[in-house]
Chains A and B, each alone.
Chain A
Amino acid sequence: MAGIYVHVPFCKSKCRYCDFASFPDKIGFAESYMTCVYREMLMRSEELKDYAFDTLYIGGGTPSVIDESYIAMLVAAARKYYKLAPDAEITIEMNPGTVSAGKIALYKKCGINRFSVGLQTAIDSQLEELGRCHNLNQFVSCAKLLKGENFSVDVMIGLKGQTTDDIDKTISVASAFGASHISMYALTPEDGTPIYTDYLNGELPDGDEVAAMYQFGVRRLKELGFERYEVSNFAKKGKQSRHNLNYWRRGEYIGFGVSASSHIANVRFTNTFDLDEYFKCILSNHLPVIDREEVDVDGRKEESIMLALRTSEGLNVEEFNSLYGADFFKEYSTALAKNSPYLDVQGDRVRIKDEYLYVQNTIICDFLS
């Protein structure tokens, strides 16, 4: 099992919290950019010819802002250059207000079978505060177009002035319009983003308040039939994101486009974040990789634990032991003993208890060397 990720770095406008590679003013480069992405896919195809891929994730940015034909060509290129399973999970991220019935029809036609909609909040004033360029009505129209489809909705907590009622409304709307999956994130004020000043001025809810919002959201989602399978991800039965599960199982994936990351054969590498540099590399037939780290066995073990403990299924000890020739319970006996009140150890599964999932860093740290 392996995944393909493609980054589309264009947006209508930059959100106030965004620190991703996205270039709202460069949308005119979409055609050249996508051409380069196809070419990058080709450049890697020989090296990855033995890999069987079963997920494709088109993220951004806002992939839905560019012409849908580029997306169709992208899926086609993925099928042409790689062994992408016929029943592969193919996801595209989209923002309300950027899609039409025709667009979605073409997405479906080319094989996209999962959609991720960036709602964030159902409160228009909060959307405006975040610098999002859509409102609740536009989300509703978008959701109606996706009726009957497998789609996910992003929800943010920890917003300025947000109440649990607001979170309730957001989750309820998403659920009522048929979302099968919800990702619920706490706003992270990154240094350098406009929202960071709100944070510095103490205008954002503090950790305790965010924790309370999170616990509220978890409860509400459960009532609506969404099961938590990772600290920030909730799904109806059978609707987990296979692409993301692969990340948390320390699976392999190849990323294309600016800022895309990859994990192939125990090497993690990242493409340039600079659009011009990306063009230059591809046009001169060079891979646009700027960072490359070979993960040694200790690092692999740490990653496996750190990622698995984010999930509800936790760590499969038997798998871990056979993969690394290790004896997990013996090697980590100190960390296990110290954290025994917070861990649920059943047979070959070690997971963080539900009520401690939101304070997992402290626990995970004890498992790092």
Chain B
Amino acid sequence: MKKPNKLIRNFCIIAHIDHGKSTLADRLIELTGQVSKRDMEEQLLDSMDIERERGITIKLTPVRMFYDADDGNEYVFNLIDTPGHVDFTYEVSRSLAACEGAILIVDASQGIEAQTLANVYLALENNLEILPVINKIDLPSARPDEAKKEIEEVIGLDASYAPLVSAKEGTNIKEVLEDAVKYFPPPDGDEDAPLKALIFDSYYDNYKGVILFVRLKDGKVRVGDRITTFRSDKVYEVTETGVFAPSLLPKNGLFAGEVGYIAASIKSIQDVAVGDTVINADDRADAPLPGYKHVQPVVFCGIYPLDGSRFNDLKDALLKLQLNDASLVFEPDNSQALGFGFRCGFLGLLHMEIMQERVEREFNLDIITTAPSVSYRVVKTDGESLFVDNPSHLPPVSEIDYMEEPIVKTDIYSPPEYLGQIMDLCRDKRGVFGQMTYLDANRVRLEYKLPLNEIIFDFFDQIKSRTRGYASFDYELAGYERSKLVKLDILLNGEVCDALSMIVHEDSAYARGRMLCENLKDAIPRQLFEIPVQAAIGGKIIARETVKAMRKDVLAKCYGGDITRKKKLLEKQKEGKKRMRSIGSVEVPSEVFMQILKTNKD
């Protein structure tokens, strides 16, 4: 038995959004000299455009660093950056499984946030050593002692030794590195045992095939080795191994305790699942590493190519994204209004938004997305029960005995002055009050049970706008409850548009129908005839608006010099028409399908 290198430290960073995680990571990388300050792009680890623009981390990104510690040794640090948002808990759990330690960043002025807490518990469950770091001590509002006290009271960690840093200004960063050496244990395992490597992420490279991000627990892997995984029977020959510097840096051979990547000309995205264990095909390990808990999507929507002929491109895009993010699920779907596309499942609203954006940006596809839905449990009169996440797949009303909807347990954190507004909102959203806890003089935790379909509508925006951005919230699924749900249909010029149907609670159906008709009236361009826009429940019309017929659409003058210009104007108008979908005789711009989400005119 050969123990792994004692000079390796594998750790991740846990922090709430905006508490400075990526900035601290950048400082660590900078101080260990991996990347010169000049060559550094702001927030190195957030490499996707979307991540930089939104200032959030979506994907976990590993990076290897060398650190000359005060004890005279050179240590290898593998830092695995993790997302902070509630939707990406799944990603967090993946990176935790590859680490022995976690740096917990707490904002010196804001204290611990709900989501941070959830991730800390996740880390503790994974037996990770936690090093608290108090960040943003440069802010005038910083209260480092209170933050430390909060860590001790809320989590029960000893925070007395927590470094006080300012990642922004680079204060005390070295202390964090020294503490990482001191407090995080070296990796465990056996280099002489058969190979066992946890796949914690992967992506598809056009030249090298699938790149596996792995953490070796036991054994070693070299170029030329024949590998397979526990769940697959296909064997691949390793073509390249390496580390993250932070871009891929080839290095022949990875050993127990190390974090790195493996390329083995794996062509098929489906053959290697994140969470699976890579083993040596000629020296098979007997048992896999514990994988991750399988996550269920909770929010669903339809994604269709704007240009119907690009269905296969969309399929490829989704497959490639799935390789990188196993939590994305999808199956082919067909809509009368939108043609062929996919019904996709996501971990949450942000996850959905990010995925939609990635499809458009990374694969250069124009897509139409339908309003998000949740998965309902439908019990039919014959006793059969089924789950329906697509309103147009709902059985006829006469066959439905009753329906159940997913409920979430929500923790809302807010300064006390906004309690009234939050409680009003939760009542409007059919919330059931649980309890209220004063965390300190400035923060209250409200517990509510809310139907998930109310949360996916505009809950987040409402919470933020009603509390001027001060409140935050967290939710977790808490089972299904029976509810009075109806299918709300939208008719354009007398024809049901399946892509606009939605399942809503009976009590809010009328208001929702009215609002939808009003929004659609403004979003649908005027055409040569009058278009009635109606909302209906089971054939009964509950609201109506009218898109008036267009009265002027003409290029006034058209003489000698104008002809070329006017033709171009008409061609441009024609291009605009191409971006529309025909619902019966009505031409509808693709944006309309998201109008369903808007609550008020803006």
Q: When the two chains form their complex, are residues A358 and B552 in contact, meaning their CB atoms are under 8 A apart?
A: yes
Closest A residue to B529 by CB, please name it: A341
Is B396's CB within 8 Å of the partner chain A? no
Q: Sample 9 A-B pairs with CB under 8 A, ordered by A number.
A: A232-B557, A255-B560, A259-B561, A262-B560, A302-B567, A306-B567, A362-B528, A363-B528, A365-B570
Q: Is there a chain B Cβ closer than 8 Å to A207's Cβ?
A: yes
Interface residues of B toward A: which range?
20 to 34
| Stretch of A44-52, A133-141, A208-216 with 4 or more beta carbons under 8 angstroms from chain B | A208-216
**Bound Cα distance from A176 to B264, whole angstroms:** 90
Asked whether B556 is an interface residue with its Cβ less than 8 Å from the other chain, the reply is yes
Q: Are A268 and B564 in contact (CB under 8 A)?
A: yes
Query: Which residues of chain B are near A185, meaning CB under 8 Å?
Result: 556-557
Q: Are B550 and A362 in contact (CB under 8 A)?
A: yes
| Contact A359 B557, CB 8 Å, known A268-B564, A368-B570 | no
Is B573 close to A, CB under 8 A?
yes
Residue from the list A232, A255, A342, A361 in contact with B573, Cβ < 8 A: A361
Chain A residue numbers with a CB within 8 Å of B1 are none
Other-chain contact of B553, A262, A291, A362 (Cβ < 8 Å) = A362
B454 CB to nearest A CB, Å: 39
Mark out the residues of chain B between 541 and 585 whose CB falls within 8 Å of any chain A CB in the assembled complex.
Answer: 550-561, 563-564, 566-567, 570-571, 573-574, 577
Question: Given A255-B561, A356-B528 in contact, is the A361-B554 Cβ separation under 8 Å?
Answer: yes
Interface membership of B32, Cβ < 8 A: no
* A186 contacts the other chain (CB 8 A): yes
Supposing A362-B553, A365-B574 touch, asked if A293 and B560 sit within 8 A by C-beta, the answer is: no
Among B556, B557, B564, B570, the residue within 8 A (CB) of A364 is: B570
Say if the beta carbon of A197 comes within 8 Å of chain B. no
Q: Which residues in A have some Cβ–Cβ distance to B below 8 Å? A: 5, 185-186, 188, 207-208, 210-212, 214, 231-232, 244, 247-248, 253, 255, 259-263, 268, 270, 291, 293, 299, 302-303, 306-307, 310, 341-342, 356-365, 368
Choose among B551, B555, B556, B571 the residue that contacts A211 (Cβ–Cβ < 8 A). Answer: B551
A244-B559, A303-B563, A358-B554 given. 15 additional CB < 8 A pairs? A185-B557, A211-B552, A247-B560, A268-B564, A270-B564, A342-B528, A358-B552, A359-B552, A359-B554, A360-B554, A361-B554, A361-B573, A362-B553, A363-B528, A368-B571
Say how far B526's CB is from chain A's closest CB, in angstroms.
9
- CB B496 to nearest CB in A, in angstroms, measures 21
Roughly how many angstroms separate A208 CA and B553 CA in the complex, as a whole number?
10
Give every chain B residue within 8 A of A210 (Cβ-Cβ).
Answer: 552
A310 and B550 in contact, given A263-B563, A268-B564, A362-B527 (Cβ under 8 angstroms): no
Which residues of the other chain, A, contact B570 by a CB distance below 8 angstroms? 306, 361, 364-365, 368
**Least distance between A310 CB and chain B CB atoms (Å):** 6
B566 contacts which chain A residues (CB < 8 A)?
306
Q: A306-B570, A361-B573, A364-B570 are in contact. Are A261 and B560 (CB under 8 A)?
A: yes
A253 and B560 form a contact (CB under 8 A): yes
Query: Are B560 and A207 in contact (CB-based, < 8 A)?
Result: no
Cβ–Cβ < 8 Å partners of B571 in chain A: 368
* Least CB distance, B60 to chain A, in whole angstroms: 49
**A365 contacts across to B, CB distance below 8 A:** 570, 573-574, 577
Is A360 touching B560 in the complex (CB atoms < 8 A)? no
Q: Contact at B574–A358, with CB atoms within 8 Å? A: no
Bound Cα distance from A360 to B557, whole angstroms: 13
Chain A residues with Cβ under 8 A from B558's Cβ?
Answer: 247-248, 307, 310
* Chain B nearest CB, measured from A278 CB (Å): 15
Task: Tell me whether B551 and A263 are in contact (CB under 8 A).
Answer: no
A359:B556 contact, CB within 8 angstroms: no
Chain B residues within an 8 Å CB radius of A303: 563, 567
| Per-residue contact bits, chain B 376-416, to A (CB 8 Å; 1 contact, 0 not) | 00000000000000000000000000000000000000000
Q: How far is the CB of A216 from chain B (nearest CB, A)?
A: 12
Across the two chains, which residue of chain B brings its CB closest to A362? B553
B-side contacts of A270, CB under 8 Å = 561, 564
Shortest distance from the beta carbon of A297 to any chain B beta carbon, whole Å: 15
User: Which residues of the other chain, A, contact B527 by a CB distance below 8 angstroms?
Assistant: 362
- Find the A residue at minimum CB distance from B561: A261
Select A368's contact among B553, B555, B574, beta carbons within 8 Å. B574
Residues of A within 8 A of B567 (CB): 299, 302-303, 306
A321 CA / B557 CA spacing, docked (Å): 27
A364 to B569, CA, bound (A): 12
Q: Which residues of B contact A356 (CB under 8 A)?
A: 528
Residue of B nearest to A269 (CB): B564
Residues B465-498 near A (CB distance < 8 A): none
CA distance A362 to B585 in the complex (A): 14
Considering the complex, give the chain B residue whose CB is closest to the CB of A254.
Answer: B560
Q: Evaluate contact between A359 and B550: CB separation under 8 angstroms.
A: yes
Q: Which residue of B lies closest to A361 (CB)?
A: B553
Tell me the smallest distance from the CB of A181 to a CB of chain B, in Å.
Answer: 14
A208 with B551, Cβ < 8 A, contacts A5-B560, A247-B558 known: yes
Residues of chain A within 8 A of B574, CB atoms compared = 365, 368
Please give, as numbers and ranges, the residues of chain A lying within 8 Å of B561 by CB-CB distance.
Answer: 255, 259-261, 270
A210 to B556, CA, bound (A): 11
Closest to A213 in B: B552
List B contacts of A359 (CB < 8 A).
528, 550-554
The residues of B that contact A291 with a CB separation of less than 8 Å are: 564
Give CA–CA (A303, B558) in the complex, Å: 12
Task: Please measure, in the bound complex, the distance between the C-alpha atom of A268 and the C-alpha atom of B567, giving whole angstroms.
Answer: 12
Question: How many angstroms between the C-alpha atoms of A185 and B555 in the bound complex?
Answer: 10
The distance from the CB of A280 to the nearest CB of chain B, in whole angstroms, is: 21
Q: Report Cα–Cα, A188/B558, bound state, in Å.
A: 12
Residue of B nearest to A273 (CB): B561
> Which among A188, A212, A307, A362 is the interface contact of B563 at CB below 8 angstroms?
A307
Q: What is the bound-complex CA distance between A199 and B567, given in angstroms?
A: 24
Q: How far is the CB of B559 from chain A (nearest CB, A)?
A: 5
For the complex formed, measure the closest distance between the CB of A192 and the CB atoms of chain B, giving whole angstroms.
Answer: 15
Q: How far is A248 from B560 in the complex, measured between Cα atoms in Å?
A: 9
Which chain B positions have C-beta within 8 A of A244?
A: 559
Contacts A270-B561, A307-B558 given; indicate if A207 touches B573 (C-beta within 8 A).
no
A265 → B minimal CB distance (Å):
15
9 shortest interchain CB distances as A-B pairs: A211-B551, A261-B561, A211-B552, A207-B552, A365-B574, A361-B553, A359-B553, A261-B560, A185-B556
A260 to B561, CA, bound (A): 7
Question: Which of B550, B554, B563 is the one whose CB lies under 8 Å from A231?
Answer: B554
What 0/1 pattern do residues 344 to 370 of B give for CB contact below 8 A with A?
A: 000000000000000000000000000
List the B side residues contacting A293 at CB < 8 Å: 564
For A368, the chain B residues whose CB sits under 8 A away are: 570-571, 574
- Considering the chains assembled together, what is the distance between the CA atoms of A363 and B550 in angstroms? 12
- Give bound CA distance, A150 to B550, whole Å: 36
The interface residues of chain B lying within 8 Å CB-to-CB of A231 are 554
In the complex the two chains form, what is the Cα distance from A345 to B553 in whole Å?
A: 21
Cα A359 to Cα B549 in complex, Å, equals 10
* Closest CB in chain B relative to A286 CB, distance in Å: 20
> Which residues from A are CB-within-8-Å of B555?
361
Q: Would you give the shortest CB distance from A28 to chain B, in whole angstroms?
A: 25
Min CB distance, A306 to chain B, in Å? Answer: 6
**Least distance between B521 CB and chain A CB atoms (Å):** 15
Question: How far does the alpha carbon of A212 sit from the alpha carbon of B574 in the complex, in Å?
Answer: 25
B563 touches A358 (CB 8 A): no
Nearest residue, chain A, Cβ from B582: A338
Residues of B within 8 A of A260 (CB): 560-561
With a CB–CB cut-off of 8 A, which chain A residues contact B550? 359, 362
Closest CB of chain B to A7's CB: distance in Å?
A: 9
- How far, in angstroms, from A255 to B573 measured CA to CA in the complex? 28
Do residues A208 and B528 form an inter-chain contact, with CB atoms below 8 A?
Answer: no
Hey, which chain B residues are within 8 Å of A358, CB to CB? 551-554
